[in-house]
Structure 1
Amino acid sequence: MNSRFAFIAAPVLVFAYGVIRILDGLDGSRGPGLAWTTGHLAFMAALVLFVHIFWRMRRMAGGNALATVSAVAGTVGVVALLAQFGIDIAVGLLSADHAAMSGLFEQVKEVPGVPFVVYDAVPILFYAGQLALVGQLAVMRRVRAWTPALVLVDLIVPFIDKDLIPLGAVCLLISFVPLARAAVTAPRPAVALA
């Protein structure tokens, strides 16, 4: 996969998700329907690209242990978020209205382990892995010092208000443009020969 494409497309898809989410809520509720499904699919596509991004940033950091742990953590977080958004889409498709969606979500969250793995704890690894990788690249001076700050803004704003997701995505795009350039010229980590 083209690294430059992934670094640019992922924030654009997150932006699309944020805008679609806002539009979906203009009638007072979100989902079910085309906007709900389309927005979630856009975010899922971004998540798939983030897996490539995490492993490319790992390579940019030299493939060391910290970068590897961060990429693994980020990838595990992606899997949890893909499950979460997959559930959201399924619930939307199975529901006639927003009230029916709420009932189905309650049933899903009653399944032992699902809240922890899919909603509450494991998805945080996506954000922690991403910030750790960008932070390591900044410490190594492979990206500017402001890059982790913009990534942090992107990660924080949805917790303040989910309607700020497009703003966070713009910050992420600004921070990822230099990463996209650097990813093309990043050295491959040395492979130890036995």
Structure 2
Amino acid sequence: MITRPAYLAAPALAMVYGVLRVVDGFDGSRGPGPAWTLGHLAFMGALVLFAVIFRDMWVMLGRNRVATGILVAGLAGIAFAFVQFAIDIVVGFMAADHEAMGPLFDQVQAVPGVPLLVYQAGPILFYLAQLALVVHLAVRRQVKVWVPVLVLVQILLPFASLDLIPVGAVVAMIAFLPLATRPRKTALAHA
């Protein structure tokens, strides 16, 4: 078996973000500072690796139309989420303290389309595509049915509390473990 590092590294970087987010909140506020910046950079790295994961799943699915549509939506979602995290980092560098971040975020969100694309609907495409890809793999019996169930759990956990991001990351690692360790011939059969 060959390990595909992106499948485990992406959730690991998401876990780093989640842990640093919790640590950053110990003083009662989040950002700016090293935990804010490093956590956001870690999640941006996770997003890049998720693009690699999505492409790999697309190849596993035979590059069909449905998978291609999901891939495109997922990559768009990744791009919107990446922009959101980049904005957060820039605001963190520009602000002297947490209170100064609010007006800067207000300025960004005053730009038409930014709230919807960058903070609301855009990033949701990332999560929906992640789920759709693993469901498609499960329907084709390329992964067990529990894989999309765990992916759904890891997507929903942060909606209950953002402090559950590290738990969701562990769930994602478990969900992606069969994909990370699948035999090489699985990938080559569809390449």
What is the Cα deviation at residue 159 of structure 1?
A: 1.1
- Aligned match of 1:187: 188
8 A Cα contact 2:11 2:172, kept in partner: yes
Report the CA distance shift for 1:160/1:141 in structure 2 as closer, same or farther (over 3 A): same
User: CA 1:91/1:183 → structure 2, altered by over 3 Å: closer, same or farther?
Assistant: farther
Q: TM-score, normalised by structure 1?
A: 0.94
Question: Aligned in 2, Cα 1:11/1:53: closer, same or farther, shift over 3 Å?
Answer: same
CA distance in 2 between counterparts of 1:30 and 1:101 reads: 10
| Alpha-carbon displacement from aligned partner over 1:159-185 (angstroms, at most 9, x marks no partner) | 110000001000000011101123733
- Alignment-derived partner of residue 121 in structure 1: 121
**Is the CA contact 2:10–2:46 (under 8 Å) kept in the aligned structure 1?**
yes
8 A contact 1:77–1:125 mirrored in 2? yes
Residue aligned with 1:96, SS: coil
- Name 2:72's counterpart in structure 1: 72
Deviation at 1:57, TM superposition (A): 0.3
> Distance in 1 between the 2:11 and 2:104 partners?
30
Residues 131, 152 of structure 1: 8 Å contact kept:
yes
Deviations along 1:83-110, one digit per CA (max 9) or x if unpaired, are: 0000000000000111100110011100
CA distance in 1, matches of 2:145, 2:51: 23
Structure-2 separation of matches of 1:153 and 1:183: 26
Q: Distance in 1 between matches of 2:68 and 2:3?
A: 18
Gaps of 5+ in 2: none
Residue type at the aligned position of 1:179: L
Length-normalised TM-score, structure 2:
0.95
Q: Over the residues paired in the alignment, what is the CA RMSD in angstroms?
A: 1.4
Same amino acid, percent of matched pairs: 56
Count residues with an aligned counterpart: 189
